[in-house]
Amino acid sequence: MQNLTLYAFPTHSSKNYECSWIFPNHVKEIAEKKHEGESNILFSNLKEVKLDICYFMLERQIQRAAFCMMEL
Per-residue model confidence as pLDDT tens digits over 8-65: 999 999 899 989 999 999 999 999 987 788 999 999 999 999 999 999 999 999 999 9
pLDDT recorded at residue 2:
63
pTM of the model: 0.80
- The C-alpha atoms of residue 65 and residue 71 are separated, in whole angstroms, by 10
Q: Closest Cα partner for 61 from 17, 69, 44? A: 69
**Strand runs (DSSP E) across the chain, as ranges?**
9-10, 21-22, 27-32, 39-43, 48-51
